[in-house]
Structure 1
Amino acid sequence: MRKIFFLLLAALALQLNLQAQGYQLSIKLKNYTSGKLFLANYMGRTTYLTDSADVSPSGEVILKGKTPLLPGIYLVVLPGKQQYVETLIDKQQAFSVTIDTTDLINKTVYKGSPDNDLFLGYNRFIFQQEALTHNIASQLKAAQTAADSAKVLPLQQELGKKLQQYRQELIQKNPNAILSAIFKAMKEPEIPQQPAGEDSTFAYRYFKGHYWDDVELSTDRLVRTPVLEGKLKKYFTQLVVNMPDSIIADCDALIARTRKSKEAFKFVLWWLTYNYESSPYMGMDAVFVHLVEKYYVSGDAYWLNDEQLNKIVNRAYTLAPNLIGQQAAPLELKDTASRPVSLYKTKAKFTVLVFWDPTCGHCKTEVPRLDSAFKASWKNKGVAMIGIKTEGTREEWLSFIKEHKLNGWIHALDADNKTNYRRLYDVYSTPVVYLLDENKKIVAKRLAVEQLNEFLEHAGQKNVAAKL
């Protein structure tokens, strides 16, 4: 019993010692005697500096740190930043590499890194297919007809088959290698023959349902590679139904699969948050608000400091009151004659709210265009226009209204700053346009004149169809 205790204690001490060792990469550059070498890592498709060191007169560089590197694909960037060698980092983080810039593929040699021996072997295989690749590229460039392009297809299929075969054999022989994890993630689901009784959506449903099967989301190994971000982008742009409710469901399901890996969870949540906060598509801010309320407010975003967290949460709280489908916030204002104006007392089939500034260059262009569309078409569709002054003097406001003959609008302002419209309607630049239905629910926002016109035309056609 005592012997087992000492063995366990020795194993623990060894483990702690290995963790304390961190990483050490010994690099020999054959054609350099000075300069600075950099180590960078992928984070998705972007690269970030990890470490750097000066090259000795003998061409040697030692990169080391007390904290182990997180797994992934790293770039050994040579002095001058014109050439680099991709290197795999996983559990083995003490190894050496000799790099000869006269032939980075065939003359690079690793010692003590089985992962990079596999990676180098794959890169050499790719290099050996260069003649076939060049032939394909040349024929595609010279192709003038569809028939010419079709002749290249067998060559492309041959190359693809060779690559897939190489990767599959590597996975079978080295199932636990980081390169195997990368190759499995790159592979897409193979759709079987459609079973009897299945409808035409079977292929799509199968592909989407098995898309993440071979993607290692429970470890950190894919975060510092370009692969995971590429998978995310394809999934959420090509496979997920482009509606907030569908996107939210897929976001939550995917995030749940990353919970065993702090780095995968962090990256996937960050990517989804940024992607939908900055989305150019109307209504996607609902996804951003959901993510913030579920994961950030609850404290799951462990990597953020209080200031960063508050900034994201405050942004979500600003967007929450003006999401598509929400009831518009009440507005009690004063018109040009200082008479009361109430949003909810303005009865109309549709209401267009325009937050604008008579001194704003963009407003000077867009507000007259909105007025032209209103007079040409929208007025006959039962649209009410409410223009709300945000900046500029009263004289500038009234002068602009008169000069551009903005007749038929309800012109108003919050002279006493009582409505808090900037936060409730997210008005931090102008113009900002909202379209409300007859119950004052938000049905569209931040649309240009042409888009708003199409939206109203479509709404009108739906109403006609409903009556028929």
Structure 2
Amino acid sequence: IQVQVDGLNQDTVYLANYYGNKLYYSDTTVTDAKGRLTFPGRPYEQCGKHAIVIPGPKYFEFMAVTEDIVIETNAADPTANVNVIESDENKVFYEFLGFIGERRAIAAPYERTLGDSTATETQIQEARQVLTDLGEEVGAEQQRILNVHADKLFAKYLNMVLEPTIPEAPKNIANAQELQYRWYLDHYWDRVDFDDPRLVHDGSFHQILDTYWTRVLPQVPDTLLNSADRLIARAAGNDEMFKYITHYITFNSESSQVMCMDKIFVHMIDTYYATGQATWMNEEQLKKVMDRADELRDSQCGSIIPNIILPGLDQETWMSLYDIEAKYTAVLIWESTCGHCKKELPKYKELYKEWHPKGLEIYAIGNDFEPEPWQEFVEEQEYTDWINVSDNPLINAQDSASALIYGGVTTLKSLNFRTTFDVFATPKVFLLDKNKKIIGKQIGAEQMGDILGRLEEMERKGIPY
């Protein structure tokens, strides 16, 4: 990779590579007095969209492929002044960038017209027509590149951003939209060569993966989980793509705000990390993510919640979660000093009044380390209709805890409920079915009411949940 940047003189320059939609430094060198620099070519699996970063910082992009690359530009505006001396790949790339730049310049005044409240109807119609024509020109040029330069990496990148054209559904079909959606799902990844490791080195791959995962697929954990396994299976043998997809899904599910996505995180760790397939991680990193999966295991959706046995409001009567016989059980972990808890508890009180006759029980666990404030608050606010339990320093003392556990009074997971349920903030809420399976979590009272209503409706229709 040979580059001359006029205006540089013994300056430090970086070679950066895209990994998904992010740019990372991968090499560095110093120019000579005339701004000339050289980087070694990239191995095939590391080829893709790269950038030369000069002081400023400023940079220009290019396609690093397995051919000699010779490029000239200047330090004042490196992107605008690129001249590709040698590299068929980059000549195609920069010809397209030039084509797009010209069309954008033509489109700019017409786009301003559409945003101008004083524009006449004639001007608006003219602007729309021009922009439509320009869009068709761009589409035709993209198709030409795909046809003429199908062997180029840039053509593969370009193809990834082109949406599949959904065919018209047959006439007189009642579920035409559903049929078209299924076709779109089935053909969404047709534009991706799953054998080419270079595809992950461009933002377009991240874009279509992110769109697929967060917008195309229904945000239902079981559906997402099955789709994740199918997608990862398609990348088998392509280490770069396998790594990118697996990492994206794993950590997107861990940080997601969608209910029950931790189920996917635990599945990913168990299936791909604990089995030794995450070869990019060292032992310490693997242990960290596997420990995190273990922390979430007992509280993930779809699992049977561990039995919790804690003393009730009198701190003498031990009450077991599994002893509750109810169609639905809400486990509510809260504390008397938590402001958000104080706002939510009255709502749960109203929810309980409405839904207790229909089969809802609440097993409320006090998270206060001392029982007195919790007891006083429960009694003062009259939250005594449902089951209230909590721990206390006495039962958590080592000798006491051991005696209670070995005596069969309670369990380690009960006394360690904060760890069992990954309690870092309150309120922490779980909705259970009659078998104590977790069917919802981290939901407010109003959302729980909606979910219970939907579950009842599903039951009436004979739909399993």
* Structure 1 portions without partners, runs of 5+: 1-24
Further displaced range: 105-114 or 329-338: 105-114
Quick one: which of 112, 115, 121 aligns to 1:141?
A: 115
| 1:281 shift after superposition | 1.1
Q: Is the 8 A contact 1:351 1:385 kept in 2?
A: yes
Percent pairwise identity: 28
Instruction: Quote the Cα distance in structure 2 between the aligned partners of 1:364 and 1:373.
Output: 15
Partner of 1:220: 197
Instruction: Quote the Cα distance in structure 2 between the aligned partners of 1:87 and 1:310.
Output: 38
Deviations 1:23-74 (A, max 9, x none): xx33322133365333322221122222233444433334448977811111
Give 1:142-291 correspondences, 5 Å limit: 142=116, 152-195=127-170, 199-200=175-176, 201-291=178-268
Deviations 1:135-162 (A, max 9, x none): 3421221268997866544333322222
Alignment partner of 1:325 is 2:341: no
Deviations 1:413-466 (A, max 9, x none): 243463413344333332211122333222211102321232234445566788
Give 1:380-459 correspondences, 5 Å limit: 380-414=357-391, 415-416=395-396, 418-420=411-413, 421-459=417-455
Deviations 1:121-180 (A, max 9, x none): 111111221332213421221268997866544333322222222222223222221111
Alignment partner of 1:121 is 2:95: yes
Secondary structure at the aligned position of 1:77 is classed as strand
Secondary structure at the aligned position of 2:430 is classed as strand
Aligned pair in 2 of structure 1 residues 208, 136: CA closer, same or farther (>3 Å)?
A: farther
Alignment partner of 1:74 is 2:46: no
The one-letter code of the counterpart of 1:387 is A
Instruction: Quote the Cα distance in structure 2 between the aligned partners of 1:308 and 1:292.
Output: 12
Instruction: Quote the Cα distance in structure 1 between the aligned partners of 2:356 and 2:283.
Output: 49
Partner of 1:49: 25
Instruction: Quote the Cα distance in structure 2 between the aligned partners of 1:311 and 1:150.
Output: 59
Instruction: Quote the Cα distance in structure 2 between the aligned partners of 1:392 and 1:360.
Output: 13
Alignment partner of 1:29 is 2:5: yes
Secondary structure at the aligned position of 1:58 is classed as coil
Aligned pair in 2 of structure 1 residues 259, 459: CA closer, same or farther (>3 Å)?
A: closer
Q: Is the 8 A contact 1:218 1:258 kept in 2?
A: yes
Partner of 1:60: 36
Q: Taking structure 1 as the reference length, what is the TM-score of the superposition?
A: 0.84
Q: Is the 8 A contact 1:143 1:149 kept in 2?
A: no
Partner of 2:323: 345
Q: Is the 8 A contact 1:38 1:53 kept in 2?
A: yes
* Structure 2 portions without partners, runs of 5+: 402-410
Q: Tell me the C-alpha RMSD between the 2 structures.
A: 2.9
For these two proteins, the number of residue pairs brought into alignment is 439
| 1:372 shift after superposition | 5.1
Quick one: which of 39, 53, 59 aligns to 1:84?
A: 59
Alignment partner of 1:96 is 2:70: yes
Q: Is the 8 A contact 1:41 1:224 kept in 2?
A: yes
Q: Is the 8 A contact 1:353 1:434 kept in 2?
A: yes
Instruction: Quote the Cα distance in structure 2 between the aligned partners of 1:69 and 1:78.
Output: 25
Further displaced range: 125-134 or 94-103: 94-103
Partner of 1:299: 276
Aligned pair in 2 of structure 1 residues 144, 408: CA closer, same or farther (>3 Å)?
A: farther
Q: Is the 8 A contact 2:7 2:34 kept in 1?
A: no
Aligned pair in 2 of structure 1 residues 135, 442: CA closer, same or farther (>3 Å)?
A: same
| 1:270 shift after superposition | 0.8
Secondary structure at the aligned position of 1:283 is classed as coil
Aligned pair in 2 of structure 1 residues 427, 144: CA closer, same or farther (>3 Å)?
A: farther
The one-letter code of the counterpart of 1:358 is S
| 1:347 shift after superposition | 2.8
The one-letter code of the counterpart of 1:441 is K
Instruction: Quote the Cα distance in structure 2 between the aligned partners of 1:333 and 1:254.
Output: 44
Deviations 1:315-365 (A, max 9, x none): 223333333333222111111321110112123333221112334444344
Instruction: Quote the Cα distance in structure 1 between the aligned partners of 2:72 and 2:377.
Output: 72
| 1:292 shift after superposition | 2.1
Q: Is the 8 A contact 1:363 1:431 kept in 2?
A: yes
| 1:88 shift after superposition | 0.9
Instruction: Quote the Cα distance in structure 1 between the aligned partners of 2:355 and 2:386.
Output: 12
| 1:379 shift after superposition | 4.1
Instruction: Quote the Cα distance in structure 2 between the aligned partners of 1:323 and 1:347.
Output: 22
The one-letter code of the counterpart of 2:60 is V
Quick one: which of 16, 30, 37 aligns to 1:40?
A: 16
Q: Taking structure 2 as the reference length, what is the TM-score of the superposition?
A: 0.84
Partner of 1:3: none
Q: Is the 8 A contact 1:332 1:419 kept in 2?
A: no
Instruction: Quote the Cα distance in structure 2 between the aligned partners of 1:234 and 1:150.
Output: 32
The one-letter code of the counterpart of 2:72 is T
The one-letter code of the counterpart of 2:85 is K
Q: Is the 8 A contact 2:338 2:426 kept in 1?
A: yes
Partner of 2:404: none
Partner of 1:15: none
Q: Is the 8 A contact 1:219 1:260 kept in 2?
A: no
Secondary structure at the aligned position of 1:172 is classed as helix
Instruction: Quote the Cα distance in structure 2 between the aligned partners of 1:298 and 1:437.
Output: 32
Instruction: Quote the Cα distance in structure 2 between the aligned partners of 1:433 and 1:109.
Output: 61
Instruction: Quote the Cα distance in structure 2 between the aligned partners of 1:271 and 1:114.
Output: 33
Instruction: Quote the Cα distance in structure 1 between the aligned partners of 2:461 and 2:199.
Output: 51
Further displaced range: 143-152 or 163-172: 143-152
Q: Is the 8 A contact 1:97 1:109 kept in 2?
A: yes
